[in-house]
Amino acid sequence: MADLTHLDASGAAHMVDVSAKPDTVREAVAEGAISMAPAVIAAIRAGDIKKGDVLGTARIAGIMAAKQTSSLIPLCHPLPISSVSVEFDYTDTGVRVETRVRTSGKTGIEMEALTAASIALLTIYDMAKAMDKGMVIGPVRLLAKSGGKSGEWVAG
């Protein structure tokens, strides 16, 4: 258990003390997808979803989610977010989201990028569920991260 940074010597969960770490510019990129019926893809593209602008609303939801990550995930440090981008691409089976989050701080920003992607996808589901309750979200994954002691990482 000593190798797990969120557990103390007795195995109890705690927030890691990052106060001695230097601030560095950090960035994380995450992606996710939602698959849906072809008619739903067409309706989103055409702006024919009754609840409104699906991707515009999902973009705002993703940005808001990144800013709230430390309130949602236990032991996650609140970070001063410098920027969040949430971009969408249509696929043959649905919509793909890519999020990019940056900060200058003492700890990584991966959770914020993953949270932004997840909430953006959940927002798409919520707005289009009247047309297709069988939509499938996933996978959601980290694509890359930079900054900090561990440096660069890119998914293989």
Q: What are the pLDDT digits (tens) for 74-116?
A: 888 899 999 999 999 999 999 999 999 999 988 889 999 999 9
Q: Are 74 and 16 contacting, i.e. CB atoms less than 8 angstroms apart?
A: no
Which of 45-49, 62-66, 76-80 is predicted with the least confidence, judged by mean pLDDT? 76-80
The answer to whether 112 is annotated as binding is yes
pLDDT in tens, 5-15: 666 677 777 67
Q: Is 14 annotated as a binding residue?
A: no
Predicted pLDDT of residue 106: 84
CA–CA gap between residue 136 and residue 52 (Å, rounded):
21
**pLDDT the model gives residue 108:** 84
Exposure class string for 61-84: b at 16+ Cβ within 10 A, else e: bbbebbbebbeeeeebbebebeeb
Please give the full DSSP string across 45-96, using - where no structure is assigned.
HHT--TT--HHHHHHHHHHHHHHTHHHHSTTPPP--EEEEEEEEEE-SSEEE
| Residue 77 annotated as binding site | yes
The Cα–Cα gap between 2 and 89 comes to 42
What residues pair up with 101 in beta bridges, in sequence order?
28, 84
Give the pLDDT score at 4.
56
Report pLDDT for 21. 79
CA-CA distance, 41 to 91, in Å (whole number)? 9
Task: Say what the pLDDT of residue 153 is.
Answer: 94
Beta bridge pairs of residue 97: 32, 88
| Active-site amino acid positions | 126
